[in-house]
């Protein structure tokens, strides 16, 4: 990303956080960022296009912070604790972004924004669920949606307190406290029927898939997400070999469809990869 583009994004976030999206003009954004209006339109066609760029920029920034730990050989609980700590610290470093999202009417929910927010929400749920599955195994499997939703509630509640009083909690102590509460949830949910199931959140999943499975998806990013999803699985080595072959094939000037189809068939038995498999199936017009 070019420096001027980044300057526009950061200036817009500050203004949106204090004034709201509708009340902020392009002139105010260019004045705040120190560029001309002509330069603004070289990067963004409209205020709405800028908003999408802001959301994608910061969601990608957060994702990159979490992925730092994916290739480290750490126990699942320790890895998740480090990722939650990084998530808290990243949010606090960019509190204007959080305020922008939470400010009433700051984000106009047109279809493109809705689709982006739904996709990111689903990806966040998959991150929580993947980490919980790696830590607790079969004991957590029936309750992953419930546990992820409750963990998300913990996180969102504490981040609000930290925005107003950043010195009120030590982040590492807070993360340890949250994970001990999750331990209690796992114990308490044994024998309970799950409340949130994939069937009950089917509409969310359908909407997410509709957006995720568009032709414009970057297949390399899709495969990177697949690698992250299998990082803590017992059969990770076999899956990662398959994904490496798949990635190499997709990067060819003329990808060989039978090879892609064969590699995808090796992933059929791993349900956490279904969404990503379908993205590749749609991209190359394969048989599901």
- Cβ-contact 273, 230 below 8 angstroms: yes
Intra-chain end-to-end CA distance of the chain, in Å: 36
Q: Would the pTM count as exceeding 0.85?
A: no
Q: Which helix (H) or strand (E) holds 65?
A: helix 47-67
- What's the pLDDT score for residue 104? 46
- What's the pLDDT score for residue 82? 96
- What's the pLDDT score for residue 158? 93
Q: Which residues of the chain have pLDDT under 50?
A: 104-105, 215-216
- 257-261 long-range contacts (CB < 8 A, ≥24 apart) are 257/284, 257/286, 260/284, 260/286, 261/286, 261/287
d(C-alpha 136, C-alpha 191), whole Å: 15
- What's the pLDDT score for residue 217? 58
- Cβ-contact 228, 67 below 8 angstroms: yes
In degrees to the nearest 10, what's the CA dihedral of 157, 161, 164, 167? -140
- Cβ-contact 44, 50 below 8 angstroms: yes
pLDDT tens column, 161-199: 898 888 888 999 999 999 999 999 999 999 999 998 877
Chain centroid to Cα 48, Å, comes to 21
């Amino acid at each position: 990303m070019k420096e001027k583009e980044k300057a526009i994004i950061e200036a817009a976030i500050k203004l949106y956080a204090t004034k709201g999206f509708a009340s902020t003009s392009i002139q105010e954004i260019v004045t705040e960022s120190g560029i001309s209006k002509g330069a603004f339109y070289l990067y963004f066609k409209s205020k709405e296009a800028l908003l999408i760029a802001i959301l994608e920029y910061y969601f990608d920034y957060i994702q990159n912070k979490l992925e730092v730990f994916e290739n480290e050989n750490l126990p699942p609980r320790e890895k998740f604790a480090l990722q939650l700590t990084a998530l808290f610290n990243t949010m606090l470093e960019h509190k204007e972004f959080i305020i922008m999202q939470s400010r009433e009417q700051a984000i106009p929910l047109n279809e493109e924004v809705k689709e982006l927010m739904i996709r990111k929400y689903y990806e966040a749920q998959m991150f929580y669920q993947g980490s919980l599955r790696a830590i607790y195994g079969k004991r957590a499997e029936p309750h992953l949606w419930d546990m992820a939703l409750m963990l998300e509630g913990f996180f969102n509640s504490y981040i609000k307190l930290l925005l107003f009083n950043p010195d009120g909690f030590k982040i590492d102590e807070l993360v340890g406290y949250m994970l001990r509460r999750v331990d209690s949830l796992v114990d308490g949910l044994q024998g309970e029927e799950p409340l949130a199931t994939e069937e009950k959140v089917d509409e969310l999943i359908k909407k997410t898939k509709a957006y995720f499975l568009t032709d414009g998806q970057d297949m390399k990013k899709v495969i990177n997400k697949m690698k992250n999803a299998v990082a803590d699985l017992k059969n990770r080595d076999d899956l990662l070999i398959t994904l490496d072959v798949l990635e190499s094939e997709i990067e060819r000037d003329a990808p060989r469809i039978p090879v892609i189809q064969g590699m995808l068939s090796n992933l059929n038995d791993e349900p956490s990869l279904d969404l990503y498999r379908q993205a590749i199936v749609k991209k190359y017009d394969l048989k599901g």
